[in-house]
Structure 1
Amino acid sequence: MPLSASAGAKPDNSAWPGLPFHDWKETCATLHLWTQIVGKVRLVRTPWLNHSWHVPFYLTARGLTTSPIPYGSRAFDVEFDFIDHLLRISTSDGLAKAMGLQPRSVASFYREFFACLSGLGLTIQIGPRPNEIADAIPFDQDDRHASYDAAAANRFWRALLQADRVMKEFRTRFVGKCSPVHFFWGSFDLAVTRFSGARAPQHPGGIPNCPDWVTRDAYSHEVYSCGFWPGGDALPMPIFYAYAHPQPAGFNTAQPPPATATYNEAFGEFILPYDAVREAAQPDDLLLDFFQGTYEAAADLGKWRRAELEYQGPQHKRAGT
């Protein structure tokens, strides 16, 4: 008879893959830049939507997609497939091209991607410099970033898939203005944002290679935002995060659950290590507690009208019940 979790058996959390940052640091940097190239195509071809909601990607059963992008009376989409390790470009009139995701420089990826677009009758130009990255190298000149570990990229997507699923459940608890759960290629993170409805003080801006007016539009109103980030040089580990803008007094000293969550002064946000979630007996419950606890701290300290903004009806019924 198998041991139960309560009897000391380790839970089967294989759906939440290990993602040590140092093991795929170079692939992460290269993939970030590839997503920026594709993302900028969506940016220049899609009508502006407040808070830059016209630019993110979305999770699919195989990877990340731009969703349909208008091109006159035609449309096209681009998908990163992290199962077959392909970049697929498909058009509404039945044309398609694919590129292999493999070790190659950003400059090489850039050239082939735009050659594929041209071959599909899609003439598009983008700004050649990456956003939200200090000392950024123009895409067409970047021969330094050239790594692609297929297994690591697949693990990253599978981690995103689990985060996306739980974040979508958290999103259902709110009836005020709220973003979709979406992946921002500039900051390379999955995020969902709730709004109080009140205007916010002007954001100071200052994000590298990102116009201040873009940042100020993103933070034009009071927000609580949470998400998943795979790590970077400033914090070399994958994390879940939560922050408020503007940050209400006392937010940084709040003590939301779980005990493994801490406030990071340098980042100005609460962080919860991804591994703490991955190794938990009930990963979904732990992560939802983190999101709910940090939201309540932000909303209560910020004097949000919670009764008007939160879902008050019966529990959602699953299909077939």
Structure 2
Amino acid sequence: MTTLHTGDANHTWPALPPLAEWQETLTALHMWAQIVGKIRLQRSPWINHSWGSALYVTTRGLTTSPVPDGARTFAVDFDFVGHQLRVTTSDGADRSFELAPMSVADFYRKTMDALRQLDIGVEIFSRPVEVEEAIRFEDDTRHASYDAAAVHRFWGALVQVARVFNEFRARFIGKSSPVHFFWGAFDLAATRFSGRSAPRHPGGAPNCADWVMQEAYSHEVASSGFWPGTGGVGEAAFYAYAYPEPAGYRSRAIRPEAAYFHETLGEFVLPYEAVRAAEAPDQALLGFLQSTYEAAADLARWDRAALESNRPGNS
């Protein structure tokens, strides 16, 4: 079994392999997560900004959390410690299978078979979203890698990132999202809202209906998140952006020193490795989250006094 701490200079924040070494696994896992996420989306009540479809970090992986199935509920869990996919129900039934190298088509078949064996009838739209190449799940025999050690380290990073994101979330008493994992772009995200409506978003995300993006950005946001390697910067990284972007935002000084504004993405970026290697990784990440939020809130004239907690330490 993979051990999270082995070989890490920083024993809390695990080193992630270079993207090239686990890109094939990351792509397959992204598609697997879309399958599981679409199951939750299909059966759960709609919550604003697609919050009702997201996954959540657990002590062993990622979960849908309880999903309605008539009078009972079920959950689909990725276990990145024991490397299993597990479906459990509130009436005590369960099915599971091993996470190992297999095609997206095989994962899709096994997952839907497990649901059927539990008398859970779910049909999903089987084309992936928010990716340029959208091969239907049942036809995707190309992506079939699973590097268990890399996935375990990815999960270990998620545990640390979610912990710090939740600390940052606690500093805000206005509307804010849960710290949740969006399977579309395969990122852990947390968003703060000013409370004011925003201009209509232009949409344009690949293989994603414009109305989804328009509803997601119906109100002003300062958002931040973590890509394990899916953000287009060639490595695991944190990001932050504002919508709409206020004048002067991209020229603001941001902490820590390793953070920079990525002109192509239109977002601030901080490499994961810069945080992991920092003397105080939590504080380095909190500095990035706080300074990018302040850039958005100050320049867009948010009512910070009304939106932020005044508890000691929340600054």
Q: TM-score, normalised by structure 1?
A: 0.94
* Partner of residue 197, structure 2: 199
Could you tell me how far apart the structure 1 residues matched to 2:231 and 2:298 are? 33
Look up the SS of the partner of 2:53 in the other structure.
Answer: coil
Q: Deviations over 1:187-214 (max 9, x none)?
A: 1000000000010000000101111111
**Deviation of the 1:21 alpha carbon:** 1.3
User: In the alignment, which residue of structure 1 is the partner of 2:20?
Assistant: 22
**Structure 1 residues 244-279: Cα deviation after superposition (integer angstroms, max 9, x where no partner):** 000000001111111110000111100000000000
- 2:5 corresponds in structure 1 to none
Is 1:153 aligned to 2:169, yes or no? no
Is the alpha carbon distance of 1:314 and 1:16 closer, same or farther for their aligned partners in structure 2, counting shifts above 3 Å?
closer
Give the aligned residue type for 1:235: V
Find the partner of 2:132 among 112, 131, 134: 134
- Match of residue 309 from structure 1: 307
For 2:74, the aligned partner's letter is F
| Structure 2: gaps of 5 or more residues | 1-7
Give the partner amino acid of 2:295: A
- SS of the residue corresponding to residue 25 of structure 2 reads helix
1:1-40 alpha-carbon deviations (Å, 9 max, x no partner): xxxxxxxxxx951221111211210000000000000100
> What letter is aligned with 1:294?
T
For the Cα contact (< 8 Å) 2:185–2:230, is it kept in 1? Answer: no
SS at match of 1:242: strand
Paired residue for 1:254, among 249, 252, 255? Answer: 252
Q: 2:88 aligns with which of 81, 87, 90?
A: 90
Please point out which of 170, 176, 179 is paired with 1:178.
Answer: 176
- Cα contact 2:181–2:188 (8 A) shared by 1: yes
SS at match of 2:190: strand
Which structure has the bigger radius of gyration?
A: 1
Give the RMSD, CA atoms, in angstroms.
1.2
Alignment correspondent of 2:229: 231
Find the counterpart in structure 2 of residue 121 from structure 1.
119
Which amino acid is 1:135 matched to? Answer: E
Aligned residues between the structures: 306
Instruction: Check conservation: 1:107, 1:142, Cα contact below 8 A.
Output: yes
Q: Separation in 2 of the partners of 1:307 and 1:234?
A: 36
Alignment of 1:255-270 (within 5 A): 255-270=253-268
* Aligned position for 1:7: none
Aligned AA (1:127): F
Q: How far is the alpha carbon of 1:232 from its aligned partner?
A: 3.2
Given that 1:21 and 1:232 are in contact with CA atoms closer than 8 Å, whether structure 2 keeps it comes out as: no
Query: Structure 1 stretches (4+) deviating beyond 6 angstroms?
Result: none
Equivalent position to 2:274, from 273, 276, 287: 276
Cα distance in 1 between the residues matched to 2:225 and 2:33 = 18
Please state how far the C-alpha of 1:223 moved relative to its aligned partner.
0.1
Q: Distance in 2 between matches of 1:81 and 1:267?
A: 32
Matching residue's letter, 1:209: N
1:69 corresponds to which letter in structure 2?
Answer: V
Distance 1:234 1:181 in 2: 22
Aligned identity (percent) is: 57
- TM-score, normalised to structure 2's length? 0.95
Is 1:34–2:27 an aligned residue pair? Answer: no
Q: Which residue is 1:294 aligned to?
A: 292
Give the Cα separation in 1 of the matches to 2:53 and 2:231: 25
Displacement of 1:313 in angstroms is 3.0
Q: How far apart, in 1, do the equivalents of 2:14 and 2:38 lie?
A: 29
Say if 1:27 and 1:149, in contact at 8 Å, map to a contact too: yes
Establish whether residue 79 from structure 1 lines up as the match of residue 77 from structure 2.
yes
The one-letter code matched in structure 2 to 1:219 is Y
